[in-house]
Amino acid sequence: MNKRATVYFDPDIHKALRLKAASTESSISELVNQAVREALSEDREDLQAFEERIAEPTITYEALLDDLKSHGKI
pLDDT band of 14, cuts 50, 70, 90: very high
Could you give the angle at which helices 11-24 and 28-52 cross, rounded to 10 degrees?
100
pLDDT tens figures, 20-73: 999 999 999 999 999 999 999 999 999 999 899 999 999 999 999 999 999 999
d(CA 46, CA 50): 6
Tell me the pLDDT tens digit for each residue of 32-42. 999 999 999 99
Supply the pLDDT for residue 13.
97
The pTM for the full model equals 0.64
Q: Give the distance from CA 58 to its chain's centroid.
A: 24
